[in-house]
Amino acid sequence: MYINRNDTIVERFPESYLTMLPITIETMPMVHFAPKSKFFQVSTVGCNFTCPGCISETLTSHADAVAGALQSATPEMVVQRAKKQECIGIVFCLNDPTVSYYSFLALAQKAKEAGIYVGCSTNGYFTESALRGLIPYLDFVNIGLKGSSDDRYRECGAASSDPVYRNIGILHDAGVHVEVSAMYINGADDEITSAAKRVAAVSPDIPIQVMRFVPFGEAAPDLEPTIAASENISVRLREVMNHVYLFNSPGTEYLNTICPACGKTVIAREFYGPMGCRTDSISDDGRCTCGWQAPIRGPISREQYTEFGMLGGYRTTRAIEMAHAILVTLGIRDDGELGDVLGDIIREDFIRGMHDRIQQIDSWIGLIEDLASRAGREEEGRTLISYIQERVEIITEGAARVSSRPTVYYSMGYPLFALNAERFETNLVEAAGGTCVNKRIERKGKPGVNIPAEELNLFNPDYMFISGFLSSPVSDYIHYCATHGIVTEATRSGTIYNVPAGWDFGSPRWILGFMYIANTIHPEIFSFDLEQEEREFYRRFYGITSDEIVQNRDFSRASIG
């Protein structure tokens, strides 16, 4: 990301940004600094690490492919835009500021001159001199920990873990608000517990965000721990750290701030997209009724800012990944060709309208058609659309003949995190001849909201589906229902199902999920051979001919190996 120009190291893309938009600080994520406040997010492209399963893989590992979408902006221009949109600060996240160090430093200096906050999300792998150059302009930092050992850091391309933990101490001693997000990989309990102990040696009051690993890219699916296992590790970390929070786990209660004196919930939060959360309520500026004060720094906003559609935080990377996923099924694998299309759509603010286009079958098909036209792959687009439409017609015609429509509840992660009423998955249920009870939920989140057990019991669904994006094993799901008073027709009859990974959201593979839903709720009508359909889809649109398909959660990479 740097070049040598006349014996001077300079950035390849100075003062050039992929995203510049307002977010709530919790989607950075940050939990103990300026809750509910509106910040101006900036990101560039590239990274100094190469971590397997990176959630931002398209913009970190395919920097050249998306560089065409970069927008030039001077530090003064960025600060002006932030203040015009009434943001109280600027935060650099999505990729690492080490690859845009000089641009970020200049921006941070201008932001401080303008009297607004500055923060960043980073892996923390700075030289000490580079970090000390930034510190006078930093108010808060989220350090993403890959683990504790040198071996784990070498997997990401670094030499050792020591610089990161050294820098946590330097930042804390300098008075910068520090939070750490620690990756929790299945089977790597020692890595995260050792990491917590190293952070606790600096200060046990540093908030630690446990990031349940979700395998993207080439990461193996069995590296993903369950939500239940992640909650168990969070309990263990609370033995050494005072503030432990669990992310990437829809429906978990381990995002809340609990009073250590009396056990009451002082700050309630819920899942709000990958790597993010949302603050639902704060009691008396973070003070418990017993008098304990939550250690919050910065102002607490009285109003909650809500990001539009898929903009803000890591949802933006998911939108780019979804466009990437369609282009891959059209046969576009070369970074140069990919970059021409992705660059255009990001530059045109195409991402802003994607949220609405991916909620209905017809508009999803229209999105494929649009991208095929932009890429000059009209014939490939027609082939994909024809495959999808043939199966859609079979299902919708069959659904029109059903004598009764079973009720279906669609959740993500744990049972009490309900997908939004207008989500694509709920529309697939309706199109397959079911009645999705999520349609009765008026509240909205991203991609859904927590609901009480009493509300789910009143819905009393015949079937319960667990999203194929962020899921729980059916066994954990049933256990949760049993221990939380959830009793429905589905729990009594055992009609609870995991949608296969990648089959209901994020890529054209949703057609496989549509057939899965139809088979499940109307076996008297539909009998798609899903193994054959999967092999045929992967052969025709991914060029994968092996019967040994290893499913993963990545949108654009349909299989690993």
User: Tens digits of per-residue pLDDT, 333-388?
Assistant: 877 787 778 777 776 677 777 888 899 999 999 999 999 999 999 999 999 999 99
Q: What is the pLDDT of residues 118-144, one digit of tens each?
A: 999 999 999 999 999 999 999 999 999
pLDDT reported for residue 348? 63
Q: Picking from 65-69, 70-74, 115-119, which range would have the lowest pLDDT averaged per residue?
A: 65-69
Amino acid residing at 38: K
pLDDT reported for residue 419? 97
Q: What is the pLDDT of residues 37-56, one digit of tens each?
A: 999 999 999 999 988 777 77
Longest dimension (CA), the chain: 76
pLDDT reported for residue 561? 60
pLDDT reported for residue 558? 73
Tokens of 350: 């195409």
Over residues 156-174, mean pLDDT:
97
What domains can you pick out in the chain, each with its CATH number? Answer: 2-256 (3.20.20.70), 316-399 (no CATH), 407-542 (3.40.50.1980)
Distance of alpha carbon 343 from alpha carbon 127, whole angstroms: 32
Calculate Rg over the CA atoms of the chain.
Answer: 23
Distance of alpha carbon 169 from alpha carbon 180, whole angstroms: 12
The share of the chain scoring above pLDDT 70, in percent, equals: 98
Distance of CA 267 to CAs 248, 249, 312, 445, Å?
18, 17, 22, 17
Q: What is the pLDDT of residues 391-419, one digit of tens each?
A: 999 999 999 999 999 999 999 999 999 99
Non-local (6+) Cβ contacts of 150 within 8 A are 159, 160, 161, 162
What's this model's pTM, rounded to 2 decimal places?
Answer: 0.93
